[in-house]
Amino acid sequence: MRTWLFLLSFVAPGLFNRIKSIPPTLKYEPGTIVAEKDFVIVHGRFSGIGQPVNWIAADILHIKNGILIEHWDVIQDEATQEQSKSGRPMFGDKFPK
């Protein structure tokens, strides 16, 4: 049996607490998806998460024989147009409103 550990500052430990804490306003937009052998990387945007700004995330999945073996993610607050050093959005082709 595997024990899963979710480390989110605003969610109490445990899968049930994580599911209960998902706001009904949550929206996920997948972007680029890359796969090679047993690994998949999904770049996406989380909005409506009850935080001051959207999150841009890269989820890295290790899948073996159709079973999720490991999961890592990199999450960053989405930069506004004023904050962007490159002048380009972090996700898609437009800045969030």
pLDDT at 1 over 50: no
- pLDDT given at position 78: 96
The full set of domain ranges for the chain reads: 24-77
CATH fold of the domain at 24-77:
Nuclear Transport Factor 2; Chain: A, (3.10.450)
pLDDT digits (tens, 9 = 90+) for 27-77: 999 999 999 999 999 999 999 988 899 999 999 999 999 988 888 889 999
How far apart (Å, rounded) are the C-alpha atoms in residues 64 and 61? 10
Q: Within 10 Å of residue 56's Cβ, how many Cβ atoms?
A: 21
The mean pLDDT of 1-24, rounded to a whole number, is 57
pTM to 2 decimals? 0.74
Residue of higher predicted confidence among 14 and 74: 74
